Amino acid sequence: MHANEDAPQDTPRGAPDDASAQAAPGIEETLRGLRDEGREGLKAAADAAKALRILVAADVSLARSAFGRTLAFTGIAIAFGASAWLLLMAALVAALVAAGLSWLVGLLVAAALSVVATAAAGFGAMRYFEHTRLKATRRQLARLGVGELADFMPDAGGAQSSEAAAKKVAEVEAQTGTPPKKGLGIDVTPP
């Protein structure tokens, strides 16, 4: 015999028995539980937002303090770097004079070395400054219709590349000699 055959069949099939009917909560209890859980969820979200706000405020305060100290130390580094450069140039001039050259030639050699270093640093600064123009971001924003280049770029779904459209704008500018203008007559800066 099976175990199921020994059990009495008091409840009809599909009808809940007394134990499961007592264990199932009513609609009011369910709604109360949902309300309480919702409140707990909102409180947890508020606590997380408060903690994030405190963290951001502390991080900004730390960054502000670090920025000021960075500027101070940068100023000190520039002052000592300039004085070290001047002393090195003075030592170079003294060495050239001791080697038998005139003061004029010694000073000209030191000046030429300084001009070469200045030109190299200026060239490097201009080359790296180009990265601050956010060219790729501006091209993509223009494809989405945002920014000063939006009228000159293809649509986001188009097959033409933004870079090719930017080159066409540059070619037109080279031919006409004037950069394209945006709404108020201000020159459009090419990407």
For residue 59 the two structure tokens come to: 């991080």
Domain residue spans in the chain? 27-132, 135-176
DSSP assignment, residue 26?
Answer: -
**How does pLDDT run across 99-148, given as a tens digit for each residue?**
999 999 999 999 999 999 999 999 999 988 887 877 777 777 777 777 77
Instruction: Give 187's strand partners.
Output: 181
Mean residue pLDDT of the chain comes to 81
Cβ–Cβ under 8 Å, residues 131 and 191: no
Q: Where are the alpha helices (DSSP H) in 99-188?
A: 103-129, 135-143, 162-176
Q: Which amino acid is at 159?
A: A
Taking the model in full, what pTM does it have? 0.47
